[in-house]
Chain A
Amino acid sequence: MRASSRWLRILGGTLWPSFLAATAACVVFFVNIDPETLRMQTLPAWEIGRGTGYAIGFFMFWAVALLSSMLTLVLIDGGPRSQS
């Protein structure tokens, strides 16, 4: 059972906090920026609805935060042990 609980730790410690961070970032970002405006200014040729815009933004934030969480995990797990 040790292995499965280790996996839980890894997933719980990366997927979840990055999900929370992405949600917060997504809210702050999209309150201030309308995905529709963003699309008009960058990719006017694409047909992207607001709903899709929000989702793309959310997954981008999640991916970035996930990367950071995973790096943190690697650094904490692999580093030299503290004295305690």
Chain B
Amino acid sequence: MKDPKSDANDVGMYISREKIHPREVDGPFQRLRYLAVFVLLGIYYGIPWLQWDGRQAVLFDLPSRQFHIFALTFWPQDFVYLALLLIVAALSLFFFTALAGRLWCGYACPQTVWTEAFIWMERITEGNRQKRLKLDKSPWTREKLLRRGSKHLLWIVFALFTGFTFVGYFTPILELGQGLMQLSLGFWEWFWLLFYSLATWGNAGFLREQVCIYMCPYARFQSAMFDRNTLIISYDEERGEPRGGRARRVDPKAQGLGDCIDCNLCVQACPTGIDIREGLQYECIACAACIDACNGVMDKMEYPRGLIRYSTENAMAGKPARILRPRVLAYGVLLLAVLSGITYSLTQRIPLSVEVLADRNVVYREVDWETIENVYTVRILNKDREAHTYEISVDGLPGIEALVSDEPVRVSAASTDSVVVRVRVPRSALDGPGNPFQLTLQSTADPAVKTVNTARFNGPRE
């Protein structure tokens, strides 16, 4: 009988890395993973093709500094939403990690998703695990050349399409497609297309689990979010050991054996090449392939399933397991709070932003002895998708009035304009420099589109 330790060593230790060919397995988790791959890739490749109101539904238009996401348009002024989005992403990661470990790694990480897709292509060209292992060792025959060649062809086409789609989030994808057909893309479009394709091809085709082991920051600090109640993939050592081969209908107890038949299928199925029976390891991305593999074996042996299963450290130690704990609840509540805050502020968003800049050269001007004047430049950003005419009014100091150059103030859709506003206040209402007043901009068509800015009015020092 083979020593499982030595076997695990030459498969699992990264120092003597051989290419890992995970064995294909079938089972509920594997199907869930396929579903995740399908849905996530579908979203990635599909979204740029959607249209909305006569333009691309999701377009990060960097040249004109606007992000379109369906009905919403974001401007650099809306940076706070991006920041909030990152907070949501971080909180979700904390939440799901505390709950069930590296769910992200196993099902949703682009590294995993594209690796799955690339392995699938490897499988249809080079065959299943045994065939691939054999092919790796075989000399360069015609067949090997053909199989390898078609694999790389598939990979490259797929990677190029991935890069193309990526650039399609930033340049209208229909134009991009045409430009590609006519080979008339700009330098940077070519560059980013190839850059992203190359990254996809390298990461999903070659680096694979090494990205998780050497390059992934999340893999390094995820353990900080774990506790003894986090769901992890674990091997039930008490039930499985001592492991060993046996005939099908033999009672293992009579032979002094545990339930593990030492078939090594769990090791062969593992995309990172580790042996889960040695306990939770840093390399494990919680993909649950070993669970499916082992359950298949258990079914054949007519043993109960779940020798390898999702469990918690506490449950394994026979202590009561608690899934909903303060930590998980806290992350969950925070997440909900930020999400509802974002939603609320999005519904309240006013498609108008205004800056009031005082004239820096002339602090104030005396129109006549009674009246003091300050001049402001009002910069109006109409974030709406239609033009607006605005009314400017001032308020907050007795007798204050505004004279607006070129009324009416009309700003076309999604653009900026500046107007000069001369504000006059009676000397008697002023108290030296820096008197606050309010400048209001309101759309004549839609009174809800309104902003109030506070500015300062400078008068003479008494």
Contact = CB atoms under 8 A, between A and B. Distances in A.
Contacts of B210: 5, 8, 12
A31 to B, nearest CB: 5
Contacts of A54: 62
B217 interface: yes
Consensus secondary structure, chain A interface: helix
Contact of A1 (B16, B62, B191): B16
Contacts of B17: 1, 4-5
Given A1-B17, A49-B63, A31 B79 contact: yes
A65 B192 CA distance: 20
B15 A5 contact: yes
A52 B186 CA distance: 11
B76 interface: yes
A12 B63 contact: no
Interface residues of A, number: 21
Interface in A5-62: 5, 8-9, 12-13, 16-17, 20, 27, 31-32, 34, 49-52, 54-55
B215 A16 contact: yes
A81 interface: no
B214 A8 contact: yes
Nearest to A2: B15
Contacts of B217: 17, 20
A51 B186 contact: yes
A55 B188 contact: yes
Contacts of A13: 214-215
Consensus secondary structure, chain B interface: helix
B76 A12 contact: no
A4 B76 CA distance: 43
B211 interface: yes
Interface residues of B, number: 20
Contacts of A8: 207, 210, 214
A24 to B, nearest CB: 9
Contacts of A5: 14-15, 17, 210
B83 to A, nearest CB: 9
Contacts of B124: none
Nearest to B77: A31
A34 to B, nearest CB: 7
A16 to B, nearest CB: 5
A17 B218 CA distance: 12
A31 B82 contact: yes
A72 to B, nearest CB: 14
Nearest to B170: A51
Interface string B1-45: 000000000000011111000000000000000000000000000
Interface in B71-103: 76, 79, 82
B217 to A, nearest CB: 7
A48 to B, nearest CB: 12
A50 B63 contact: yes
A35 to B, nearest CB: 10
A36 to B, nearest CB: 9
Of A13, A27, A49, A51, most buried by chain B (CB within 10 Å of CB) is A51
Contacts of A27: 82
Nearest to A50: B63
Nearest to B14: A5
A18 to B, nearest CB: 12
B65 interface: yes
Contacts of B207: 8
A26 B27 CA distance: 43
Of B16, B191, B207, B215, most buried by chain A (CB within 10 Å of CB) is B215
A71 to B, nearest CB: 19
Contacts of A20: 217
Contacts of A16: 215
B455 to A, nearest CB: 22
Nearest to B75: A31
9 contacts: A1-B18, A5-B17, A8-B207, A13-B215, A16-B215, A27-B82, A34-B76, A50-B63, A55-B188
Given A5-B17, A9-B214, A51-B63, 7 more contacts: A1-B16, A1-B17, A2-B16, A12-B215, A16-B215, A49-B63, A55-B191
User: Nearest 3 pairs between A and B by C-beta?
Assistant: A12-B215, A12-B214, A31-B79
